[in-house]
Amino acid sequence: MRSAVILLGAPGSGKGTQARLLKACLGVPHLSTGDMLRERIGRVEAGDVAQVVRSGALVSDDVVNRMVDRRLEEPDARDGFVLDGYPRTMAQAEHLAGRLEAAGSAPVVIYLLLDYNVLISRLSGRRHCPCCGALYNVNDAPPSRPGYCDLDGCVLATREDDTEPVIRRRLEAYEKQTRPLVGFFRERGWLCEIDAGDLRPEALFEKVCGAIRDKSSRKQ
Ligand code: ADP
């Protein structure tokens, strides 16, 4: 497999933005379990899943592992992928590692580090364009006309789970269930830690690409 990249980091650490940039640069699909779950909630009767996502807790490992397994079987993911928001629990990490190791593949895990208060400010200020998907932040990357997308003029929206109490619950879930994965990936020699504080997305992307190049050359 050419490029298996896993983006690890708290909600708001910039995984989605970096994943989109990597997709364009590496030519591999961007698999966001959050997007996949939101799409599923919008498409089918997924009452239980919708409730869990709205509350800020994590969807069951079984549901998410099956969803990712199916997606990884699709032809466009054979040569590589960028995972954003998965794995998020130890059970998911073990499931994915088993799958990758069986295929003889070692991913690069990019771990984005960011201060807790910056995460809160980023998540509570986050807005997106429901028409084209462009992302803004009212605190540090506002649109030129407040409330409207610069690209197509659509009215900007706030994600349902980007409200203060739900944001705190998501960050708690991250601390308890996801942060332990740092040790799991470090033990396997797959982890690259990057300080994402004070960096614009483009500057962070340079660092991410450098880390991937560096890890990949050491594997050869
Ligand atoms: P963020 O990283 O900003 O929290 P996501 O879009 O990745 O946003 O996830 C939104 C929600 O979707 C999570 O709070 C959780 O309820 C659910 N979710 C996403 N990925 C997973 C996963 N790997 N395992 C369990 N639940 C998940």
pLDDT at 85: 97
For residue 42, give the 3-state DSSP assignment: helix
**How far is the C-alpha of 130 from the C-alpha of 156, rounded, in Å?**
7
Contacts of residues 93-102 at CB distance under 8 Å and 24 or more positions apart, as own/partner, are: 93/181, 93/184, 93/185, 94/184, 95/61, 95/65, 96/6, 96/65, 96/68, 97/184, 97/188, 99/69, 99/72, 100/4
Among residues 122, 126, 127, 215, which one is catalytic?
A: 126
| Among the listed residues 30, 29, 37, the one whose alpha carbon sits nearest the alpha carbon of residue 16 | 30
Residues 97 and 108: beta-carbon distance below 8 Å: no
**What confidence tier does 47 reach under pLDDT thresholds 50, 70, 90?**
confident
> From the alpha carbon of 68, which atom of ligand 1 is closest?
23
Can you tell me whether residue 33 is helix, strand or coil? helix
> Does the CB atom of residue 107 touch ligand 1 within 6 A?
no
**pLDDT mean over 117-136:** 92
Q: Is 31 in the pocket of ligand 1 (CB under 6 A)?
A: no
Q: What is the pLDDT of residues 155-208, one digit of tens each?
A: 999 998 899 899 999 999 999 999 999 999 999 999 999 999 878 899 999 999
- Tell me: pLDDT of 3 over 90: no
pLDDT of 141-155, one tens digit each?
Answer: 899 999 999 999 999
Does the Cβ of 37 fall within 6 Å of ligand 1?
yes
CB 38 within 8 A of CB 85: no
Ligand 1 mutation target, pool 33, 159, 178, most atoms within 8 A of CB: 33
Residues 6+ apart with CB under 8 A from 83: 4, 5, 6, 7, 31, 33, 68, 96, 107
- Torsion-angle region of 112 (φ positive above 0: left; ψ -120 to 50: alpha; else: beta): beta
- What SS3 state is found at 111? strand
Q: How far is the CA of 55 from the centre of ligand 1 (A)?
A: 11
Question: For residue 188, what are its two tokens?
Answer: 């396997």
pLDDT of amino acid 219: 67
Q: Is the pLDDT of residue 211 over 70?
A: yes
**Contact by Cβ (8 Å): 103, 1:** yes
What is residue 76's DSSP assignment?
G
Mean pLDDT of 57-71: 96
Q: State the pLDDT confidence band at 42, using cuts at 50, 70 and 90.
A: confident
Contacts of 72 (CB under 8 A, 6+ apart): 31, 81, 99
- End-to-end Cα spacing for the chain: 13
Q: What is the C-alpha to C-alpha distance for residues 110 and 3, in angstroms, rounded to an integer?
A: 13
Please state whether beta strands 80-84 and 135-137 pair in parallel, antiparallel, or not at all (unpaired): unpaired
| Ligand 1 close to Cβ of residue 171 (< 6 A) | no
The most confident of 23-27, 187-191, 215-219, by mean pLDDT: 187-191
pLDDT for position 43? 76
Ligand 1 centroid–CA 8 distance in Å is 12
- CA of 85 from ligand 1 middle (Å) equals 6
Regarding the beta carbon of 9 and ligand 1, being less than 6 Å apart is answered no
Higher per-residue confidence, 62 vs 48: 62
Segment 82-117, tens digit of pLDDT: 999 999 999 999 999 999 999 888 999 999 999 999
- pLDDT of residue 40 exceeding 90, the answer is no
Q: What is the pTM of this model?
A: 0.92
